[in-house]
Structure 1
Amino acid sequence: MLIDSHCHLDFPDFAEERGTIVARALAAGIGRMVTISTRVKRFQQILEIAETFNEVYCSVGTHPHNAAEELDVTADELVRLSDHPKVVAIGEAGLDYFYDHAPREAQAEGFRTHIAAARRTGLPLVIHSRDADGDMAAILEDETGKGAFPFILHCFSSGRRLAEVGVALGGYVSFSGILTFKNSTDLRAIAADIPRDRLLVETDAPYLAPIPFRGKRNEPAYVVNTARVLADTIGVSETEIADITSENVFRLFTKMPRPAAG
């Protein structure tokens, strides 16, 4: 079984065929999917999707693009909303200096609020980091000094130092379809050095479809292709990478139940 640890099933790209998309993922051997929140004000829509499909779970949080819109979201609110059994993570939150859709100060403030919620709940924080390696590493080190919290560097495409800092602080590193791209040689070299017990795979669907689907709409079933490249990168079989990454998910996402034996 593989697990898509990060997708966006609430996005309009899937509105007309969400059931079909989930069915295709299950047929491809994807046993769990986590649909990720980008706005707390749209959380109920995400929760409804998670409640509709047994194999789908969700997070609650505010994407850094939307940080300025939701600075009124408190750690208390995130903690309260995360109490639902289908909510297995906080986020995604973090820093995006590539687009800078929100002021950097607002992104950092929102990020620290989400860290506080992750620390209080023990749920993993799904971290978005783009072109912000230095500030991201600094905040992670500063906040971990106040008390550890579980986290994932999602859709990892940053530099080696951020990966090393993340792992040293107890974090996990998740790879998307970017890992399969021809020009991702450096990223594959980083992936090869991540401890096996910290590796995850994801689609970030509908974005970043892996080879051979690059340029098309991504979907959870395609995590198989990313897992195949990750397996080759670290020198294990496809069965082994499925076992490794799924075990890591269940260890990290403590509220997500394992499949029934047999």
Structure 2
Amino acid sequence: MSAELLTTVSEAVRAAGIRLLEQYSPQSRPSTGEELMAAIRRNEDLVTDQLRPALLAALPGSQWDQDEHGTGPMSAGDWWVVDPVGGNVNTVHGMIDWNVGVSLVRDGRPELAVLYAPLADELFTAVAGGGARLNGRPLAVSAKTDLTMALAGTGQAKPSREPAHARRVGAGITAMLQAALYVRMSVPVTHQLPQVAAGRMDLHWQFDNVRSHIGPVLIVQEAGGVVTHLDGSPWRIDGGAYLAAAPGLHAAALDVLSEVK
């Protein structure tokens, strides 16, 4: 993956994030479902209108996938997987945890990731085999080895009231509360995973595995984190529940979560 392509993508993602920041208001408070959905669509359209032409031009022949909640295998070729506003619900309620994220998937494998958090002015990048960086500085996951001292997290990939899934999420949180220092349940997942890559958090697990996670998972991996499914197999785009953790904590956290059904 060329340095020129990473630079081009980084500049495009940063520009889209800055454009969205210009529209962002900490006083935003949608009061109806119609207002909420309209605000979400406006944000997505604003980012997409800026990113799509820039990314498709940067890599001729590439294709576009904006289904951030999509699952399963991906077709051959180069695909830009875009999460226009990670944490869009937070954005339209005036909260601070939101970002713009892009990953490049080539023949079913993540190759490049860029995620920009405009309010913090933090640009996370990763290239497969080339490491991960935050504002150009190399990233490294936590060096902790004691799970009782770990900052753990999980979240919702998308809104769901499915009873079995809710029970499993609750059981996972309950189990981890008894093992880790504390557990953070928040959205977006695309905010928590880069915190693991930066060593600010120590582990993150998910019972769902959707397109928007691809880039942040690559960032964790390239920062030295271990990402597997709950049976211990290596993380795959088309896999299910997974754990992303610092190497010294992964086995212990996996033991906790492998018992959650």
Same fold (TM over 0.5): no
**TM-score (norm. length: structure 2):** 0.26
